[in-house]
Amino acid sequence: MTKAFDDLDLFVIGGGSGGVRAARIAAGYGAKVMVAEEYRVGGTCVIRGCVPKKLMVYASHVHHEIEDAAGFGWSIPQANFNWSTLIANKDKEIARLEAAYIANLERSGAHLVRTRAVFEDARSLRLSSGELVRPKNILIATGAAPNHGRPIPGIEHVISSNEVFDLKEQPRRILIQGGGYIALEFACIFAGLGSDVTLVYRGDNILRGFDEDVRKHLRREMEKAGINILTERTVTAVERHGGEYIAHLSDGSSVGGDKVMFAIGRHPNVANLGLENAGVDINPNNGGIAVDGHSRSSVPHIYAVGDVTHRVNLTPVAIREGHAFADTVFGNRPTAVDHTNIPTAVFSQPEVGTVGLTEAQARVQYSHVDVYKAEFRPMKATLSGRDTRILMKLIVDGQTDRVLGCHIVGPEAGELIQVIGVAVKLKATKADFDATIAVHPTAAEELVTMRQPFARYVREAAG
């Protein structure tokens, strides 16, 4: 066994955002840390998730800006989009970010090894090299992967969000199955780049779990953009005919295209890690590693953070969990992560930003609920002529005046909800919002100028 493997205080399986943060903080406390990553450092977010996706969102926005320019006096010649250039530039940026992740990790004093690690027992991990390590503490941060659901005929023809970033050519027509944020974001990306997009979802409307007004508003806006949304049906088979794929749907219809993509969920990466050898329990409700409030598994010295626990699958949450783990175990600062009121953005077009409770959730949890809502045409559209509207909604406790939730659909909703998230976390009241002077002219001023409730709900006490 090499010296680098001796007397490890922490062995981290997975070099994504959560694992890297945990390793860096633990090393900063003086721990001897090793990180095992068998693919690329950076995890889902940096390599094949939110970062490359957001770069593609920016690319698709350019199309809208060109269309809007005429109303502001700009005459722009015919513009041409080159998919290969976008993908090449995206790849360069991802490589730069990966290098920065590696440099920061190694600068902290943690040691990176390019290997797979599998449990032989609760204390021992076997590496791809054949070497055995027995660290004092182990952190599992292996993330999650796309899930294609039940097998169907022709499933081998279907791509996931992993492969979509490396397509050699832009599909002229693409069918995407799914109604969550990944499916919607890619539907909007491809539509913005000029592809013909069909979205298929088994539910009655997109974005299950989000506020109902948000779901309705975004669907309406996406359909205005030419995206064909087919709900209450699924893809039952995919056939290849030369360079074309035919997706057969559960209602008997079929849709042709150059690509078929499934974005119907993600499952925790718990397989083939030897967890059963270590006695690590799986949460029967979500399939992730079962952990307590301090990310400790059923085995006292084995922990897990991020998507592999299937708690809240967001990169900033994994980072916070990784940091809290290191503070707890190596910093003598027991820290539990608060998973309530987490601001979330969907980078659809238009964007969605949300924090706190939906209207439906609030009406279940609180007896008095006031709803403030504004829907309006953005100022920019008055000259651009674009047919689009913004939605802003506040959910308020009718008894304490506390703002319980905020939901925005419109430009820069992700940026806005980050700031509003601070106010909701601080338990700001509607009166606090009202007392804040508006910034004019902005869309965001609606958040502090909505004075009259759109609706008030009072639940009668049981007799």
SS3 for 227-296 is: CEEEECCCEEEEEEECCEEEEEECCCCEEEECEEEECCCEEECCCCCCHHHHCCCECCCCCCECCCCCCE
Q: Which residues contact 406 (CB under 8 A, 6 or more apart)?
A: 353, 354, 355, 356, 392, 393, 394, 395, 417, 420, 424, 447
Residue 254 CB: number of other CB atoms within 10 A? 15
Per-residue pLDDT of the chain (463 residues; tens, 9 = 90+): 455 566 899 999 999 999 999 999 999 999 999 999 998 998 888 888 899 999 999 999 999 999 999 999 999 998 999 999 999 999 999 999 999 999 999 999 999 999 999 999 999 999 998 999 999 999 999 999 998 888 999 999 999 999 999 999 999 999 999 999 999 999 999 999 999 999 999 999 999 999 999 999 999 999 999 999 999 999 999 999 988 999 999 999 999 999 999 999 899 999 999 999 999 999 999 999 999 999 999 999 999 999 999 999 999 999 999 999 999 999 999 999 999 999 999 999 999 999 999 999 999 999 999 999 999 999 999 999 999 999 999 999 999 999 999 999 999 999 999 999 999 999 999 999 999 999 999 999 999 999 999 999 998 765 4
How many Cα atoms are found within 13 Å in the side-chain-facing hemisphere of 397?
Answer: 14
One-letter amino acid of 281: D
Q: Which CATH architecture has domain 3-146+267-330?
A: 3-Layer(bba) Sandwich (3.50)
Which part of the chain has CATH 3.30.390.30?
344-456
What CA–CA distance (Å, rounded) separates 432 from 434? 5
Using alpha carbons, select from 316, 336, 327, 315 the residue that is nearest to residue 24: 327
Architecture label for domain 344-456: 2-Layer Sandwich (3.30)
Instruction: Say if strands 10-13 and 33-36 run parallel, antiparallel, or are unpaired.
Output: parallel
Q: CA-CA distance, 139 to 152, in Å (whole number)?
A: 36
Cα four-point dihedral sign 348, 350, 351, 352: negative
CA distance 223 to 229: 7
CB 142, CB 308: distance < 8 Å = yes
**Burial profile 363-391: b = 16 or more Cβ within 10 angstroms, e = fewer:** beebeebbbbbeeeebeebeebebebbbb
pTM: 0.94
Residues designated catalytic: 440
C-alpha pair distances (Å), 157 with each of 101, 148, 153, 178, 350: 34, 11, 9, 16, 30
Q: Collapsing DSSP states into helix, strand and coil, what is residue 73?
A: coil
CATH (residue range 155-264):
3.50.50.60
Give dist(CA 27, CA 318) in Å, integer: 18
CB 410 within 8 A of CB 392: yes
CATH 3.50.50.60 range(s) for the chain read: 3-146+267-330, 155-264
The Cα angle at residue 420 between residues 414 and 422, in degrees rounded to 5: 115
Report how far apart, in Å, the C-alpha atoms of 217 and of each of 174, 197, 211, 228, 277 are. 23, 19, 10, 15, 49
pLDDT of residue 45: 86
3-state secondary structure of 57: helix
Sheet holding 254-257, edge to edge: 235-241, 244-249, 254-257
At 227, list the tokens. 């995206």
Cβ pair 225, 67 in contact under 8 A: no
